[in-house]
Amino acid sequence: MRNFIPILLFVSLFLNAQNVDYLEKEKNSWLQVYSNSLKAQALDEEIKTLEKSIKESWGKKKTELKQLLELQQSKKKIIDELPQSFDTILDKITLEKVEEITLLEFIFTNQKSKFKIQTQRLNLLEDEFIQALTFLEKELATTKELEVKNVTKEQQLQKALDFFGSAAGLLDNKKEVLRRTKQSYLNELETYKQTQLPIHVVKIAILFLMFFLFHLLKYFISKKIKDDDRLFRMKRVLNITFFFVILLMLIIFNISNIVYAATLIGVIGAAMTISMKEYIQSMATWFHLSFGNFIKVGDRILIQINNNQIIGEIIDISLFQVTLYEGINNTTALNLKRSGRTVFIPNNFFVTNYVYNYTHDKMKTIYDLIEFRLSFDADTKKIEELVSAVALEATERYMDVASKQFSSLKNRYDMRSREFRPRVHFIPDEKNPCFILYVWYAAPYHQIMELKSQLSQKIVKKLLENGVEFYKSQKGSEIF
């Protein structure tokens, strides 16, 4: 029984010490924070007392005191999560100090409205503080008028009034800080209006003027130049020039912050290079395609992408892609079995893939090939003479054109002279016991299929008229 007496005393002490729940009836933030602070202090004292008693106790009494200690520590953890200082209330009234007024700050994030909002919040807190003082004074007067005196509560209320009286200076200090911060900002704003703003307005006006003059120049050039290809190139040069002029002007305008600007541009450039690698590569390739002159609009090219051959005429070279119109040719006839499609190829593919140009410079003719299969006992000399004569007759006019076009190409590159006469070769077939007759001839790039069809018919007719038989497979079908 003796062991329970100290515990009951402790419980009685804890239940009566610092009973300040009446402070929270008004739902006043100042009173709630003060109440939290008193409860936290009371719990700290109780925990220290319990810890001391546990050291001096033993047996069952010690176990019960430990359980009580754990309960009080749990309460303390909950109280610690609540605000216990008036600073936590006033910290909500904050304004970031503006180091330097900029044009964006002036136009979009003017802080006058923020000052107004924070002043209103501070006035509300001040009214709530006055209400808290009024409540404490009335509560003290009511407690003193009671017949049964509550000395403990009177002392608590008087202590609270003294504490709130000394805390009134916090509001005054906060109001003064807010006033000075606002005045400092207004002074900075006025200085910016008188000094920096006119300069920024002039800079923006210059940029708009450059933009207007650029478009005016493009308008006059469009009216004066009638050649579409020349107009296209001129506009492209103007666009690039305008971009670099604007970039140069922006650097000049911000020459005082050139180190900061260079660092920022470097960081942005590195991030863009990683995230937009393909687009940047396509733009870089566009410069190469535009001024490298190895392909241009109107050229017929073949490009191999992922083991697929794409062939067609270039109809547009834009910043990110080259557009081809797929024509009828050997590749589309033998492999794809269809043609006439519009093909869009990203510019970066021209960096990592081979490009075959059928119409580079003034060279508009290529060597085309026809194949036939003849038995080993065929008179190859006679066949060569017959085929050469037919091919020469059909392609003679294209030979002269090819020679003239090649002269222009030869003047540009270190190349030896070439003849564009038809060439006939006999090569043994690797799979069948026969010769493969190869007939090479000059053909204009835009008439490859037509000339191949006509020449093939003439060669077959000429050979059949002279008793030449084509090789037949074991199934009896002729192989061409």
Alpha-carbon 62 to chain mean position: 66
In the prediction, which pLDDT does 268 show? 56
The three-state secondary structure class of 361 is: coil
State pTM to two decimals: 0.41
In the prediction, which pLDDT does 83 show? 74
Count, residues in the chain: 480
Q: Which residue has the tokens 């900002």?
A: 185
Between vectors from CA 356 to CA 413 and to CA 237, what angle results, nearest 5°?
Answer: 75
In the prediction, which pLDDT does 426 show? 92
d(CA 172, CA 195): 35
Strands 321-325 and 434-444, bridge-based pairing: unpaired
In the prediction, which pLDDT does 17 show? 43
Asked whether the domain spanning 365-465 has the same topology as the one spanning 276-357, the reply is no
d(CA 396, CA 441): 10
Q: Could you state, in order of their start, the residue ranges of all structural domains in the chain?
A: 4-84, 103-194, 200-274, 276-357, 365-465
What lies within 8 Å, CB to CB, of 15 at 6+ separation is none
In the prediction, which pLDDT does 263 show? 62
d(CA 197, CA 189): 10
In the prediction, which pLDDT does 438 show? 92
d(CA 449, CA 446): 8
| Tokens at 472, concatenated | 């037949």
User: What DSSP state is assigned to residue 376?
Assistant: T
Torsion (CA) 375, 377, 378, 379 in degrees, nearest 10: 160
Which residues of the chain are under the pLDDT cut of 50? 1-17, 476-477, 479-480
Cβ 390 vs Cβ 459: under 8 Å: yes
In the prediction, which pLDDT does 287 show? 79
In the prediction, which pLDDT does 10 show? 44
d(CA 411, CA 420): 18
The answer as to CATH 3.30.70.100 being correct for domain 365-465 is yes
d(CA 218, CA 242): 11
d(CA 301, CA 357): 4
In the prediction, which pLDDT does 164 show? 82
Cβ 231 vs Cβ 217: under 8 Å: no
Report the topology of domain 276-357: SH3 type barrels. (2.30.30)
